[in-house]
Amino acid sequence: MIRLAAISFLVTLPALASLTVTTRNSIEQITGVKGVYFDGEDVHKISIPRADVKVTVDRWPMQTFMGLTSWAAFTTGTDKEAMVMGDLVLFEDEVNPVMSAALENGLEVTALHNHFFFDNPRVMFMHIAGQARGADLARGVRKCMDRIKEIRSATPVPASQFTGVDIPPASRITPEPLDKILGVKGQLNDGMYKAVIERHARMHGREVGGQMGVNTWAAFAGTDDNAFVDGDFAMTTPELQPVLKSLRAAGIYIVAIHNHMTHEEPQFVFLHFWGKGNAVKLAKALHAAMDKQAPNAATRIGHQAH
């Protein structure tokens, strides 16, 4: 009986239309990359090997076949003409400009992480997604590819540090303005400042909060006028894209996007960030991103992050 019901359910599911030849051709024309259509999955996939920069992993000259190929796969959307998923192979100085290009051109950024240890130069992988007209998604992917080419044409060797002046090794951060902006009572340690914003989830049948790692935190070092901030945003999945857009618009660098847990409800995504500049301006940029999150979703407290 259960098996017959399941079969009946599957039979009555509405069939999605296939990605049209016209859409597939427009994807290739806009991206400038010849794709491959997989009829069994209704997927049109383009691949772009990153052979423009020589990479070694554990001293071995890495080949693009071994995982240094960017790709974008297009298929039929559920409520839009098409959807895309992809993975872009990026060097550290490409990540944030390419992320901004993606976010500004209709794509979502869903993960950012490494795939290797002991790679030289360091390679990062940025996952993208989206639903829209196939041509619009293709334009977003093309904008990302063009941004990579612009960066590598200007500086063939990937950068080894962030731009801007060096941060003084001895820190003297004034806490009171940051407390007021961030709405917390932060901690001081050798002139450095840290604020923690607790969030809550349920995991394995019980509530977990800040001390179990469900928190946003920001730590400032340097001086009030020449500071850097690093930290971690804890976000539910609907909050990720608005927070990313806000941080990038303010010039905050994103250095990782991933999960820290499994089986939590709601699901949380964590992004790690880095910013340089005036401490008050950096705090205002973080506060603006926090305002993109769900109202009253976080309890602001000043305890030490894990």
Q: What are the sequence ranges of the domains in the chain?
A: 14-154, 175-301
pLDDT by residue (tens digit) across 16-55? 678 999 999 999 999 999 999 999 999 999 999 999 999 9
Q: Is the dihedral of CA 286, 287, 291, 294 positive or negative?
A: positive
CA distance 239 to 1: 42
Answer whether residue 14 shows pLDDT above 90: no
- Tell me what pLDDT residue 157 has: 97
- Tell me what pLDDT residue 228 has: 96
- Tell me what pLDDT residue 3 has: 53
Asked whether the domain spanning 175-301 has the same topology as the one spanning 14-154, the reply is: yes
Residue length, the chain? 306
CA distance 255 to 140: 21
CATH class of 14-154: alpha beta
CATH class of 175-301: alpha beta
**13: pLDDT confidence band, cut at 50, 70 and 90?**
very low
- Tell me what pLDDT residue 180 has: 97
Mean pLDDT of 233-247: 97
pLDDT by residue (tens digit) across 149-190? 999 999 999 999 998 889 999 999 999 999 999 999 999 999
205 exposure class (CB count in 10 Å sphere: 0-12, 13-18, 19+) = exposed
- Residues above pLDDT 70, as percent of the chain: 91
Answer whether residue 95 shows pLDDT above 60: yes
Mean pLDDT of 130-146: 97
Higher pLDDT, 142 or 9: 142
- Tell me what pLDDT residue 15 has: 55
- Tell me what pLDDT residue 164 has: 86
For 117-159, give the DSSP string: SSEES-EEEEEEEEEE-HHHHHHHHHHHHHHHHHHHHH-SSPP
**Tokens encoding 136:** 């619009």
